[in-house]
Amino acid sequence: MKKIIYLSTNKFKIREVEIVLKGKYGLDIEAMNPDFEIYEIQAKTCSEVAAFSAKYAANKLGKPCLKSDTGLYLEALGGLPGPYNAYFDRQIGVEKFLKMLKDEPNREARIEHCFAFCEPGKEPVVFIGESRGTIAKEPRGKDGRWHDFFYIPDGETRTLSEIGDEDPAKKASFYGDAIDKFAEWSKDNL
């Protein structure tokens, strides 16, 4: 099996990859913070963003690369922030985001989590997973990405952050099965 470079500057994404791909599946993954900027295109879906970034990085490094992207889709906002998750976090943050939704009765949401794998000179292979949930009225928890503080997966009363504070592996399971789909695919294809 080939060594795979996972590129991210996000410590929570790196922790997820180490728990699931290294720990659960035993894949040879090297998490790397690249010394070059990996461009994230403006796109309608997280899968398009992840695919573009994985292909760009694989061709730049000359090595097989794995890249992920996550989007939060709210029914009340017509699917926003979607693939603009990081932009919403940088521009308005958790508190202002929740203030926007203060009087909104429809708190239904879903998280789309995508992994894209690409080898140099080839087209990326994309794996998509999702979970459904609701948006809390206030942020809760100590650790995580911005949406982790207010996203409550279906069947839970705690936010992703609160779940991750106790059990990071359980938290990873609420991002959908894209990472597992990639791991299973890699057994026969790498």
Give the SS3 label for residue 117: strand
Q: Across the chain, how many H-helices and E-strands are there?
A: 7, 7
Residues labelled catalytic: 69
Q: Which two tokens stand for residue 148?
A: 């982790």
End-to-end CA distance of the chain: 5
- State the CB neighbour count (10 A cutoff) for residue 31: 18
Rounded to the nearest 5 degrees, what angle is found at the Cα of 121, between the Cα atoms of 119 and 127?
40
Question: Which one, of 141, 136, 137, 117, lies nearest residue 127 by Cα?
Answer: 117
In Å, how far from its chain's centre is CA 138? 22
Structure tokens at 143: 């650790």
CA–CA distance, 6 with 29 (Å, rounded to integer): 7
Q: Which residue has the tokens 């990859």?
A: 17
